[in-house]
A and B are shown apart, each in its own frame.
Chain A
Amino acid sequence: MNETGLRSAVAAGVLAAEEMHRALLQSIVEVARAIFAAKASSVFLLDEEADELVFEAVAGEGSDTLIGQRLPSSTGIAGWVLVTRQPLVVDDVQQDPRWSREAGESTGYVPKGLMAVPLLHEERALGVLSVLDRPRDARFTLREMELLGLFANQAAIGLELMQRSRRAKAALEGAGGLATLVGRVAARVDGLPDERRDAGRRLLSALDEVLASPER
């Protein structure tokens, strides 16, 4: 396979992967929410360049408004968890006036309690998984803390894959965006019914020949 062919194959894979990873993260927060019978669950991704935490996936309360919102990377509960790498479970957090004000202003929803756990992949901290408002009468044990840790490990793998594919995408787009376009066309042709796919391939081959012929 020549370089262009390789690039377009990679681009096709990368473009398809982004959606799959998003679905994986969404599934992780949905399952986390279900396991702990919580009102909401979310994954924050660390944006290293901006040095901020970004809502990447949300299930339950706030799922339609929070994606893309940003938090400081080293203050507040999520920042503490990210920097110290330590999981934390807090209830009655509404008692804290600063928390109520800040959470209310940024999200319009002030949880009573949350579990937050760092998303760690090898030596890197990628973000934070949080589970908001378990049932008030739920008995919390260290076993659940470990379950949360196991879950976080899975989410971290999802996040790492997503970041890798984003980096690959950025690298491809760095080449003038052409490889992404070629990848997208290749993916489209691949997705056509048999007959039309053959026609699509012939069309692309013809285009390739025309482009390869010396200028007149």
Chain B
Amino acid sequence: MSEEPAGHHEEDEELPAWSLPAGSVDRIRVGLPWPPGAVSREWAWGGSSGAGVRVCILDSGIEGGHPQVGSVEEAYVVSLEGDGEPVVGEDVEGDLCGHGTACAGVVRSLAPECELVSVRVLGAGYTGSGTVLLAGLRWAIEQGYPVINMSLSTTKRQFSSLLHELADTAYFRRTMLVASAHNMPVESYPWRFSSVLSVGSHEEPDPQVFFYNPSPPVEFFARGLNLDVAWLGGSTIRATGNSFATPHISGICALILAKHPELTPFQLKSVLSLTASNVGGEE
């Protein structure tokens, strides 16, 4: 974890993280006029195609070349070695379920020029799946992907504190973790952590409609009902679930970050809340 996040200024190193000496306000300039007048959708992502923003899909893999997905820039897989240690390698298997391809297709539909990266955390069996998920997330954060789509969760308490630390690390390194909320009566992670952006479903058919929820833990609602999504073998299926609402928000994050790469996760969340369909966003 030695890399500096984008937009981090060298002179900041002289500044203790816990105080701001008199006359040094300049050192914490945010890189853009803030607040930027009226935050509208036009300001936030008007004209953006998500160009150059890397979106990591932590899932079942992605079927590259699918008509709704296009090219996949990089593909990795986390597997377990004989001694149970997780290792990250290049992935040539594609998608083992169809779900990762579906998420990639949703992101692509919103941010046509973003760069898709697949980190596959499925396929190594159920038993080691928590270890694999954690290792995949840690690795993705170390790569500095600005957006990581996590349409998944774990209920294992032993992973909760580690996931919490990783979520905070991502937040401080300018990586936005976008995670599916759970709508079942059970404690699960990482979507409940305030450093991630959690997403549930609404029933509207418009992919650009999303709502800010003033009653957390679920922070945003995006399209998650009866969508036509990419699936295996170049196919398209109709699907429903919070796991499909999540990549809508990831796609919109990519649009915003392509236009405003200096935004921190905190600012990105603020922009999303201000441009939500029930706040200042045009429906």
Contacts and interface: CB of A to CB of B under 8 A. Distances in A.
Interface of A: 46, 48, 51, 72-77, 79-80, 82-93, 95-99, 113, 117-118, 120, 122-125, 140-142, 145-146, 149-150, 152-153
Given A73-B125, A74-B123, A75-B122, A87 B241 contact: yes
Interface stretch (B19-27, B48-56, B146-154, B253-261): B146-154
B9 interface: no
User: Do most interface residues of chain B lie in helix, strand or loop, or is the interface mixed?
Assistant: loop
Nearest to A123: B155
A77 B124 CA distance: 15
Contact of A83 (B98, B122, B185): B122
A206 B226 CA distance: 70
Q: Top 6 closest A-B pairs, CB basis?
A: A84-B152, A95-B235, A73-B126, A89-B240, A91-B238, A80-B97
A89 B156 CA distance: 24
A79 B182 CA distance: 17
Contacts of A76: 96-97
A149 B96 CA distance: 24
Contacts of A113: 238
Contact of B240 (A80, A122, A145, A150): A145
A134 to B, nearest CB: 11
26 contacts: A48-B127, A74-B126, A74-B129, A77-B99, A83-B122, A83-B133, A84-B243, A85-B152, A85-B188, A86-B243, A88-B241, A89-B239, A90-B237, A90-B238, A91-B237, A91-B238, A93-B231, A95-B231, A96-B237, A120-B186, A123-B156, A140-B225, A140-B226, A142-B240, A145-B240, A153-B184
A142 B224 CA distance: 9
A79 B129 CA distance: 11
A89 B122 contact: no
A86 B225 contact: no
Contacts of A97: 232-233, 235
Interface of B: 60, 96-99, 122-127, 129, 133, 151-157, 180, 182-188, 201-203, 224-226, 231-233, 235-243
Nearest to A146: B183
A98 B231 CA distance: 10
Contacts of B241: 86-89, 145
Given A86-B243, A122-B155, 4 more contacts: A96-B237, A123-B156, A140-B225, A142-B203
Contact of B126 (A79, A88, A141, A153): A79
B170 to A, nearest CB: 19
Given A51-B127, A74-B123, A92 B237 contact: yes
Nearest to A124: B155
A150 B233 CA distance: 33
B184 A149 contact: yes
A86 B213 CA distance: 20
Contact of B155 (A87, A95, A120): A120
Nearest to B224: A142
Contact of B232 (A96, A123, A146): A96
Contacts of A120: 155, 184, 186
Contacts of B203: 141-142
Contacts of A98: 232-233
Contacts of B187: 123
B185 A88 contact: no
Contacts of B242: 86
